[in-house]
Every structure is written in structure tokens, then in C-alpha cells.
Structure 1
Amino acid sequence: MPPPAAVMKAPAMPPTTRSEQPGSSSLWHLPALRRQIVLALLSFGGFFVTLSSIPLWAVDGGVPEGLAGLATTVMLAATVATQLFVPAMVRRFGQPVVLAAGLIALGAPTPLLLLDRDLWWLLVVSAIRGLGFAVVTVLMPIVATQIAPPGRHGEAIGIYGLAIAIPNLIAIPLSVALTTAGHFAVVAWIGALPLLALPLIRSFPAPAPVTTDPRDPGAGRARVPVGALTGITLVLLVITMIGGGLLAILPVQLPSGSLATVALLLFGLTSAVARWRSGVLADRTGSRPLLVGGLVFAVVALLLMSGGLLLDPGPTRTVMVLVGAAILGVGYGAVQNLSLLVSFVLAGPDRRATASALWNATFDAGTAVGALLIGAVAAGAGLGPVLAGCAALVAATLLPAWRSTPR
């Protein structure tokens, strides 16, 4: 899923040229960043194209509907378990080797899904792909910070987040349409796209030297400051739980399938744009006011959607749900990017891999827990009251967000 360096200036670093100053030129012109965008499109395209199609393929092959989702569960469980070990693998084998192994593990097994539709085989292939996805999700944000000049890391991560949102919006509906039409073989081969990204790895710059600027909150630390990261990790956990729950339960709770579809489309589009633009703004103003502002947006949006869902079906209800979904996407996307930036600042430049692993594991775990927990509660109480409770939960993270974010 789903998208890391200091948002503060580092005076101890050598002076930058005018083209390197924040906001002075577009990062889209950097060849290395364009190559990373291609890598993100290929790797995440290969991931998202099978996310919804494998369960369809499994059911069509005789797997009970109640067990079809196990393939996704196993893949994400393998992802979360592996993400925490990626920093150690990088220290042992080096970043290029580990990233290449991740792309191979994510893409190479996918065509093997065509060999058998027994559940055990689908689970084995999915678990291997989860190992590769763990590596890609942890290392790709770090590559973005290695490409971008000082003071532009927020923008670089935002562009990366925008790049991974594109296959999310396109690959999932395309894969469902192809599988439903009996063309899962095409989907399986598309899932091997990460292999095409292998030649791009050596074109990325090496990690920058570690800064010793004493004004950098994480400079020179031997270990990741777990205590300092607790607050921002809690913020991320809450917002991803709500996002995961909304994606899972909104289509079930809304009587109109078209309303749920449009609401989720607006949520996805605004979150992608917010993740990108919040990074640009963070480079200029710092993360603290933007992070708190994103959480406030989420609170307002959840209350708006909650109020709309408590109304009888009609134009007012529709407008409140759609506007709320769009505003929630802004808060959701902004908090994603900014929490990652803050985690990198707190951990220090020499511990970005560990901070990225913690962030990604929290993101995936929060999404999975939210889909289960919020869905279960909404099934009994209704989604309207549950979203009001979620708004209160997000409001409770405002103080931790403010205190854990460096000035």
C-alpha cells in the first residue's frame, strides 16, 4: 500500500543549487524519479491486479465462497510479518539485491496460479507474493528520499503515493472484469509485471551519507526511538482502521450500489491527490499543522457521512455521503503521507528502513483490523452510529499527533 525524510532543513549539509531548493523546480523532471514512477506502476500494478481476481478465480474453481478470501489474508499476513525483517536484510545484502528479490517474489509466482486452483496452492503462491510485496512497500519510499534533493522529500513521497494510486484505481476493476469474462490467464500474466522493473534498480542513487546535524531530531541515533514513534504510529493505526472498515463495509451497508461505488471512487481520488499535495506543502510549512488539519478533515467528514446515513434515502443523504467521502479522502491521504514523513524525521536518516517497516506494518495491520472490527460492529449497530464513534476516535488522536510531530 499504500506512502519519508526530514521535513526540516539540514543546515549542516552542503549548500544546494537553486534547482534543488524547495519549490524551485518540478521533481517530475528528475530522470531517477520518473524511473521510480515506472517501477511503482509495474510493481503495484502486479499486486492490485490479483487482489480481487484471485478470490473470483478460486470460487470458480470450486473453493467455497467463505474461504476464497483466505488468499488475500495469507498474502497480507506474510507481508506484515516480513516487513519488520526488511531492514535487517538490507543491512546484510544491500538495498539493490533485496529490492530485486522482492520484485521477483512478487511477480514471478503469479503465472503459477494457472497450474492449480486448489486452495492450498493459491495460499502458497499468495504467501510468496506477500514476501515480495513487503520488500517493495518498505523500500520504495526510501528510494524516493534518495532521489529527491534536500528539502523536497515530502513532495517525492507524495508523487510516489500518487503513482501507486493509479494501478489501484485501474487494475482492480479491470482484473474483475477480465476474470468474470473467463480471462484470468491474462490477469495472471499481468501479475508478472514487477519482473519488468528489475532493470531499473541499478539506476537509482545510493543512500546519502548520514547527517550529524544536532538539530535533526533523529541524527546520530543508534536505535529507533520507539517511544517517540508511538504517538505517530497510533495516529496511523486509527486512520487506517477507519479506511479499511469503510472500504469493506460501505458497499454492504448502502442500499444503492451506485452510491457506494461513487463514494469509494471519490474517496480514492481525493486521498491520492491529498497524499501528493500534502507532501509538497509539508516541504514548505512543516508537517505538524498539516497533520492535525488532516485529522480535523477526517473528523468533519465522518460526522457528515454519519449524519447522512442516519437520514432516509434521498438527495440530502446522497450529497452528505458523497461530500463526506471526498473530504475523508483528503484527510486519509494527507495523514498517510505526513505520518510517514514524521516517522522518518523521528527515526533519523540512518534508520529509515526500520521506520518504513514499522509504518507499513501498521498500515496493513490497521487496514485488516478495521475491515474486520468496524464491519462486525456496523453489522449490528449500523454504519451511521459507527462512523460517529470513529469520528470521536480520530479526535482523540489530535493531541498525540501534535505532540509527536517535531516543529
Structure 2
Amino acid sequence: MTAICELPTARLVDTSFAKVLAMVFGSGLSMYLLTSVVPLYLAANGAGGIGAGLSTGAMMFSAVAVELLVPRMLARWGYRVVLGLGLVLLGAPALVLLGTAALPVVLAVCVVRGAGLAILVVGAVALVADLTPAARRGEALGVYGVAVGVPAVIGLPLGVYLTHVIGFAALFVLAAVASLAGLVALIGLPATAGGEEQHVRVLGGVRRSGLLMPSLVFAAVTVAAGISVTFLPLAVASGKQSMVATALLLQAIAAPAARWVAGRYADRVGPAKLLAPALLLAAAGAGSLVFLPSPVAVLVGSTCFGIGFGAAQNLTLTLMYNRVDRNRYGQVSALWNLAYDGGWGTGAIVFGIVVSGVGYPIAFALTAGVVAMAVVPAVRACGV
């Protein structure tokens, strides 16, 4: 892979790109407002830690299933129709939670929202790659990462905080509106991909094209991400929820900032050289939660994990796009998001089961170990 030393100075964020950023901001806010709140909602109504893990897992595994279909949907119906469907599926079901906290219904809502999330993340990332020049792809994906990450900065801590201020019902309405408002941003976006999309299965040719190992490496770090946002509010005593909100805020700020910085440097030195250090930092951050309920461990660990996680997002995605032709961008987007959501959902479900037997410190130590093990294949597969 050849590093790019001189980058074009042409304007990166044009009108179409700005509309994509506006859309992903709204949908991201819808997702992150409820990411930690739905587990709290279930726990408050007697579902416990297993119910909390199932809610996150249901959404993410639904996303995994639908992500396999999105490249074909984009090829058949185009960006505007498919992304519009995703916005509706992500936003509207949140209103169902106004009427019930029954676990089967909540899980069904999570499944539908997961389908909407899958459509949005795969379609938006593919569209960003399609709209921007290859020489500035890392930077473009970094800017996209900021637009996705800012809602996390706002939504993760704000959702937890607002449960005590305006209640669950108002939050559900706010999450629905945030996603549905993104429909306006679709006006004027390209209807179809700039290149003819290759009709390949999402998992077709993954090993031969060098996409398998970056996907697995990224999945390892997303396991810890799903665990932290789902269980950190439950692992800390109720009187210290302000500390949890602060920790989630620091993590949410660090991730998009690191994603943008990593993209800038990846365009110059190549993403492979930066991936292993990012994973080590994420592992250290996840491991610090062993020392709960220490405020220093929680706050510093969340920040370190946010930096490592954000950098890993950009570096793995850039690396994968650099290894394929343009007509396989949809496949790369789907595959990367499969790793994201699959790891997130697996981590939440398995952690919910493990923690009931061994407690939070040991469970968080095992989480850090999973991330740390990914360093070895990252070094081997990425040529560092």
C-alpha cells in the first residue's frame, strides 16, 4: 500500500456530503439517546442484567442480519429510497415504548430499530466513499466519524441524565423525531451509486481480498464497546450515575476526535502502521474498569478506550477500502458494519451472562483480554 504524502486542497465537504453528515447526525442521536437508556428502562421494570444485554444484542444482531442485504438493496433501489427506509425503521418504533416495558415488545422494537440502523450505517458509509476522492478517503471517513460521534457525545450521557429529568417517555419521543427529521436531508442526494455495484455476496471473496482479518480485528474492539455502554451504568452504584454520565461523555468525545486524527495520519503513513497501537490503548482502557468503582479508573479508562476505539474504526475501514475497487464499496461497508454490530451485540449478550457468575471486575478483565489478543493478528495481517 502506498502512502499519500501530498493531499489535494480541493473542498472536501460539498453540499451532498454536508447532507449526508446532517442525516447521520440525526440518526446517530436517535440511536445513542436510547443505547444506555433502554437497558435502564428494562432494569427499572424488573428485567435485570440479562434483559439489558438482550436488548442491546437484539438490536445489533438484527443489524447484522440486515447488513447482509443492504448492498443489494442499494443496487436495486438507490441511496435515497434505502436510506429513507432506514430512517423510518430506526425512529418510528421508539414510539411503541411509550405504551409498554414488556420484554418481548421491547426486544421487538430493538429488532426493528436494528434493521434501520443497519441500512443507515452501510448506506451512509458507502455513499461517503462514493462521494469523496480516494486520496482523501481517510480524512473523509474521519469527518464522517465526527458526524457519527458527536451524537454519541450528546446522546450517551444526555440519555442517562434525562431519565431523571424528563423521564423515559419524553426520551422515546425525542429519539423518534431525531431520526425522522433526517428525511429532509435526503432531498438532492444521489439516487444511485457512481459506479456499477458488483453483485457479490457480502462474504464473497473476503479472504482473498484481504478483508477478513481487519474485520475480525475490529470486531474484537467492538465487543468491548458494546459492553461499556450497556453495563457501565449498571456496574456503578445508583448514587454515582453522574460519574457514569461523565465517563460516557469523555469516551464519546474521544472516539470521534481520534477517528478524525487517525484518518488524517492514515492518508500520509498508511492505516496499517497505526492499528496495533490503537488496539493496545483500547485494551488498556477496557482493563481499567477492573478497578471499579474508582472514579479515576472509570474516567481515565473510558477516555483511553474512546481514543483506541475511535482510531480503530477509521483505520480498519480505510484499510479495507484501500484493498478493493470502487464497485465493491457496498460490500466493504456491509462487512465492516457486520464486525461493528456483531461484536457489539455479542459482547453485550455474553457479558450479561458471564457477569452474573463472576462479577464485574473479572468480566471486565476478560473483555480487555479479548481486545488485547487482537493485536497479534493486527500486526501480522496489516504488515506492521
1:86 is displaced (CA, Å) by 0.8
Hey, what does 1:328 align to over in structure 2? 305
Hey, what does 1:241 align to over in structure 2? 223
Q: Output one character per residue of 1:295-341: Cα deviation in whole Å (capped at 9) or x when no partner.
A: 233345456x27x829xx8xxx6545543432232111111111112
Partner Cα separation in structure 2 for residue 108 and residue 196 of structure 1: 11
2:291 to 264, 285, 309: 309
Partner Cα separation in structure 1 for residue 231 and residue 42 of structure 2: 22
1:288 is displaced (CA, Å) by 0.9
1:348 to 320, 325, 328: 325
Q: Aligned with 1:27: secondary structure?
A: coil
Larger deviation, residues 385-394 vs 132-141: 385-394
Q: Aligned with 1:24: secondary structure?
A: coil
1:141 is displaced (CA, Å) by 1.1
How many residue pairs match? The answer is 371
1:39 is displaced (CA, Å) by 0.6
CA contact (8 A) 1:143 1:204 kept: no
Partner Cα separation in structure 2 for residue 396 and residue 75 of structure 1: 26
1:231 to 193, 209, 213: 213
After superposition, the CA RMSD in angstroms is: 3.5
Partner Cα separation in structure 2 for residue 302 and residue 54 of structure 1: 22
Hey, what does 1:207 align to over in structure 2? 193
Partner Cα separation in structure 1 for residue 286 and residue 64 of structure 2: 28
Partner Cα separation in structure 1 for residue 226 and residue 337 of structure 2: 14
Hey, what does 1:127 align to over in structure 2? 111
Hey, what does 2:182 align to over in structure 1? 197
CA contact (8 A) 1:248 1:375 kept: no
Q: Aligned with 2:35: secondary structure?
A: coil
Partner Cα separation in structure 2 for residue 201 and residue 342 of structure 1: 28
Structural mapping, 1:266-305, within 5 Å: 266-301=250-285, 305=288
Hey, what does 2:315 align to over in structure 1? 338
Q: Which amino acid aligns with 2:193?
A: P
Hey, what does 2:200 align to over in structure 1? none
Structural mapping, 1:134-153, within 5 Å: 134-153=118-137
Q: Which amino acid aligns with 1:207?
A: A
Hey, what does 1:397 align to over in structure 2? 374
Structure 1, unmatched stretches of 5+, are: 1-5, 10-20, 212-221
CA contact (8 A) 2:84 2:186 kept: yes
Q: Normalized against structure 2, the TM-score is what?
A: 0.81
Partner Cα separation in structure 1 for residue 105 and residue 356 of structure 2: 32
Q: Output one character per residue of 1:331-362: Cα deviation in whole Å (capped at 9) or x when no partner.
A: 11111111112222334321221222122122
Hey, what does 1:214 align to over in structure 2? none
Structural mapping, 1:2-41, within 5 Å: 22=7, 24=9, 27-28=12-13, 30-41=14-25
1:180 is displaced (CA, Å) by 4.3
Q: Aligned with 2:278: secondary structure?
A: helix
Q: Aligned with 2:9: secondary structure?
A: coil
CA contact (8 A) 1:295 1:335 kept: yes
Residues 117, 89 of structure 1: alpha-carbon distance in 2 compared, 3 angstrom cutoff: same
Choose 1 or 2 for highest CA Rg.
Answer: 1
Partner Cα separation in structure 1 for residue 26 and residue 246 of structure 2: 26
1:74 is displaced (CA, Å) by 3.1
1:197 is displaced (CA, Å) by 1.9
1:77 is displaced (CA, Å) by 2.8
Hey, what does 1:16 align to over in structure 2? none
Identity rate, percent: 32
Larger deviation, residues 149-158 vs 376-385: 376-385
Q: Aligned with 1:208: secondary structure?
A: coil
Hey, what does 1:159 align to over in structure 2? 143
Partner Cα separation in structure 1 for residue 32 and residue 213 of structure 2: 30
Partner Cα separation in structure 2 for residue 123 and residue 388 of structure 1: 28
Q: Which amino acid aligns with 2:206?
A: P
CA contact (8 A) 2:36 2:233 kept: no
Q: Output one character per residue of 1:257-311: Cα deviation in whole Å (capped at 9) or x when no partner.
A: 35544444322221221112111111121111111221233345456x27x829x
Structural mapping, 1:74-113, within 5 Å: 74-113=58-97
Partner Cα separation in structure 1 for residue 229 and residue 357 of structure 2: 18
Q: Normalized against structure 1, the TM-score is what?
A: 0.77
Q: Which amino acid aligns with 1:131?
A: A
Partner Cα separation in structure 2 for residue 152 and residue 145 of structure 1: 10
Partner Cα separation in structure 1 for residue 312 and residue 75 of structure 2: 29
Q: Output one character per residue of 1:139-186: Cα deviation in whole Å (capped at 9) or x when no partner.
A: 111121122223111111111111122222323444445554565453
Q: Which amino acid aligns with 1:291?
A: L
